[in-house]
Amino acid sequence: METHTRTNSNFNKTFSSMDILMIAFGAMIGWGWVVSTGDWIGTAGVVGAMLGFILGGVMIFFIGMAYAELTPAMPECGGEHVFSMRAMGPVGSFICTWAIILGYVSVVCFEACALPTIITYVWPQFLQGYLYSVAGFDIYATWLATAIVFAVFITVINIMGAKTAAKLQNILTLAIGAAGILLIAASVVTGNPSNLEGQMFAGSGMQGMMSTIIKVAAVSPFFFIGFDVIPQAAEEINVPLKKIGKILMLSIVLGVGFYALVIFSVGYVMNGSQIAASYNGSGLVTADAMANAFHSTIMAKVLILAGMCGIITSWNSFMIGGSRAMYSMAESYMIPKFFGKLHPKTNTPYVSILVVGLLSVLAPFAGRKMLVWIVDAGNFGCILAYCMVSLSFIILHVKEPTMPRPYKVKHWKFIGAMAVLMSAIMIMLYILPGTGVTLAPQEWAMVAGWTLLGVVFFIFSKLVYKEKFGYYAQLTVGETAGNETEEDTSIPARAATNLMAVEASAPDEWNHGFDYFLPVNLVFGQGKVEQVGKIATVHGSTAMIVTGGNSVKRTGTYDKVRTLLENEGMDTVLFDKVTPNPLTTTVEEGAKLAVERHADVIIGLGGGSVMDAAKGIAFMAMNDGDVTEYIYGEKTSDKALPLILVPTTFGTGSESNGFAVMTNPDNGDKKSLRSPALVATASIVDPDLMRSMPSGVIAANGCDMLCHCIEAFTANNAQPFTDALALYAIPLIANNIVSLYRGEGTDEQWSKVCLAGTIGGMVINTAGITLGHAMEHPVSGLKDVTHGKGLAAIEPKAIEATCKYNRFKFGRVARILGGFTAEDCAPRMRTLLKDLDLDVTLTDLGIEKKDIPWLAGNARKVSPGNLVNTPGSELVTTEESLERLYESML
């Protein structure tokens, strides 16, 4: 299994310490303490039942310790999926995650039936409109409608956002806790020790008592299932890593304490005969104990309402857990990829949530009896996953002893062995007859059906996704470590140092020799536009100013340049028909005007499109034929009118290279005209002229210039001078562009970014561009989208596809952007793009799946040189590969 790395999360950090404690604790204290306490006391007595739960808690404690260490060590969405993937590989991970999804989904479905059933306890007249029966359970219209309404409600809450779900969880869990505390406190005041007489233990003799205690201990661990939701949502937790392990263990301790104290409270306020009467009557022994403790039947209903809150907290927690587990499998291409879609606004795995929600809507139609079978089968799935996680805990200590472990368990061999033993014992309890939790034939049928569905998904994913099956991108611990100590982050730091040492010894691509030629005259600095007249007058008496629509006129830049030219005695001609993504027809029209007006020099005043058009006009004014003939190499020339470029936007780099990109309106081809004659006679780069750039243009052009530098640095044609320039420019962009976008840029930052943009044009002139630009040109040629936005949708995926073919250079870029390894380059770029509000897809830009064949074919048609210049070009630039890449960008 090939392991990749990433340094940024796809999820929002929304869960606080309280949130994750309430998610785990709320999952554990559902409805069972309201309806089953009388059964536990009847089986083992009050003290015996308490000891049974404490013994069960000890069993879970060892498993919890394994989870407590693994979760902060791998704080990624999916929990068990990630642990088992690192330890056992894709097959083991599939089994483990598929098993626990059964557990989560079964509880969600069961709670959908439990809620209306509890309402029936409080209000028997609630059941109206008999429909049919399943396995002896009568289904009524009111019962069914209530279940469906709440299923939809919980689903919507979870899609609305993790924080919304957490707020609901906090409120309801606190309500349950408050009711439990009221019962415990009231029992101490109104209870009587005499009530314990005759019911402290059940069974005759020591052997009989131990037997009954073990019976309760055998079932008690299944009431503590829920702490494992924490690792499922670990990527969304905004808490220092070491603290996550502590909170996980605290949730188990609170769960054990809650159940033990509730058992004691019931036995302390009700004697044996009262408990027996209640158990054989309403069956809600805990509610009757609440009534006795307060001498009020109203308080019994209060406790029942708290129990109903427990149903919703369990439901909500396992909805969170189940959807995240599905998402993680989809991210690893183990189930259909659409399960991994995140909501564009709330960043929740909404497809997985909808699937779990749909199952909870459909489940009540099967009746409560069948769902009891399903939840028992689901518990078996959870315990199987626990066992595999415990084994993973041991395997990873052997396999990865130096893994950063913010919460490190002492005596890991003993803890691991006990965790495996305890989980294995619980598995055997489900298998061996007479344990009280042995699976019935119907429940084994449920396990078999779920297993068969898993086999279908396994085979489907293997066939469809092929080598992608089992893909895993490890999240670097340092990214989410919060306020950890230096010791916690020393290992990633050492890893980065080692990688840089390896990079330093990497072979140079240019040791076979290289050429470098760029005769551009750069005039750079604030106020340098004042020299435009003196520079232009050397070339003649008539200057044609090429520009776009209104921006340079509106800002006064056009009038200023025209005046500076006229002050030197020059005549001016205006051509202002250039549009974004300039057309070949526009260039032809401008060249015709330049010839007619006897222009001696062309002044390109504007952004990248204007400068490209000005280059084309200067070239075609001195050459015959159609510009497309020169673009496709049917004709060549080294003649052009003198050209002065005055950029009013940074980023395109057109002022410092010898090509001009144009779009043919007849066929949508977007391709560059290339000639040394297109290198400007002079380029005046004045940061003061850039100040009027809209924020959207700053963001898009910032993306463009960063792509120029990264592509030139990693290109097959790279050489020492382009490498040095690109490495100088990349941090100038990364460290300053966001401030400019937010309107906070200083004079120094404006100068740095403008310089970086010019350097970007210089390096691509020599080293060329690669896959990202090759794939973007067809997009903006087809849909006329902003070039920088198109690159934002394309470049991260292009980097992911090519980084392994030049790990040394992509790793170096990643470290400039804040990562460690080559695989961190794309995630770090995504982080920067998010800060620029450029988190876009091709779908956002109007591209549809039906467009992909044309895009892939056109990329190969118009950019064959750029594709060959791409690292790993033989594998990643075939038409089939390009189509797959385009589809991944939708």
Are 444 and 524 found together in one domain? Answer: no
- How many angstroms separate the CA atoms of 577 and 589, rounded? 9
Please state the φ and ψ torsions of residue 523, each to the nearest 5 degrees.
Answer: -115, 100
User: What's the confidence (pLDDT) of residue 200?
Assistant: 92
- How many angstroms separate the CA atoms of 570 and 482, rounded? 63
What residue numbers bound the domain in which 617 lies? 517-692
Are 665 and 784 found together in one domain? Answer: no
List the helix and strand counts (H, then E) for the chain. 35, 12
Q: One-letter amino acid identity for 145?
A: A
Q: Give CA angle at 272 (268, 276), nearest 5°.
A: 120
Q: Is residue 371 part of a domain?
A: no
Parallel, antiparallel or unpaired: strands 659-663 and 670-674: antiparallel
- How many angstroms separate the CA atoms of 603 and 546, rounded? 6
Q: Is residue 376 part of a domain?
A: no
User: What's the confidence (pLDDT) of residue 239?
Assistant: 87
- How many angstroms separate the CA atoms of 179 and 294, rounded? 12
Are 818 and 861 found together in one domain? Answer: yes
Parallel, antiparallel or unpaired: strands 137-140 and 472-475: unpaired
Count CB atoms within 10 A of the CB of residue 392.
26
User: What's the confidence (pLDDT) of residue 450?
Assistant: 94
pTM over 0.85: no
Q: Is residue 614 part of a domain?
A: yes
Are 651 and 773 found together in one domain? Answer: no
Q: Is residue 760 part of a domain?
A: yes
Residue 594: give its domain's CATH number: 3.40.50.1970
Are 585 and 670 found together in one domain? Answer: yes
Q: 686, 702 in Cβ contact below 8 A?
A: no
Which pair of structure tokens corresponds to residue 219? 């079932």
Are 32 and 171 found together in one domain? Answer: yes
C-alpha Rg value of the chain to the nearest Å: 34
Q: Is residue 447 part of a domain?
A: yes
Are 450 and 535 found together in one domain? Answer: no
Which pair of structure tokens corresponds to residue 699? 């963001």
User: What's the confidence (pLDDT) of residue 487?
Assistant: 38
Q: Is residue 509 part of a domain?
A: no
Are 686 and 801 found together in one domain? Answer: no
Are 830 and 746 found together in one domain? Answer: yes
User: What's the confidence (pLDDT) of residue 115?
Assistant: 85
Q: Is residue 402 part of a domain?
A: no
User: What's the confidence (pLDDT) of residue 124?
Assistant: 76
Strand partners, 544: 573, 602
Parallel, antiparallel or unpaired: strands 601-606 and 643-647: parallel
Are 746 and 652 found together in one domain? Answer: no
Are 636 and 582 found together in one domain? Answer: yes
| pLDDT < 50 regions, the chain | 1-2, 477-494, 497, 500-505
End-to-end, the C-alpha distance of the chain in Å comes to 27
Residue 53: give its domain's CATH number: 1.20.1740.10
Are 573 and 677 found together in one domain? Answer: yes
Please report how many Cα atoms fall inside a 13 Å half-sphere around the Cα of residue 192, on the Cβ side.
Answer: 7
- How many angstroms separate the CA atoms of 443 and 242, rounded? 39
Using a 10 angstrom Cβ sphere, with 0-12 exposed, 13-18 middle and 19 or more buried, the burial of residue 744 is exposed
Given the structure tokens 């190499």, which residue do they identify? 633
Q: Is residue 98 part of a domain?
A: yes
- How many angstroms separate the CA atoms of 437 and 375, rounded? 12
Packing angle, helices 695-714 and 825-835, rounded to 10: 170
Total structural domains within the chain: 3
Parallel, antiparallel or unpaired: strands 137-140 and 3-6: unpaired
Strand partners, 6: 475
Q: Which helix (H) or strand (E) holds 712?
A: helix 695-714
Q: One-letter amino acid identity for 608?
A: G
User: What's the confidence (pLDDT) of residue 481?
Assistant: 41
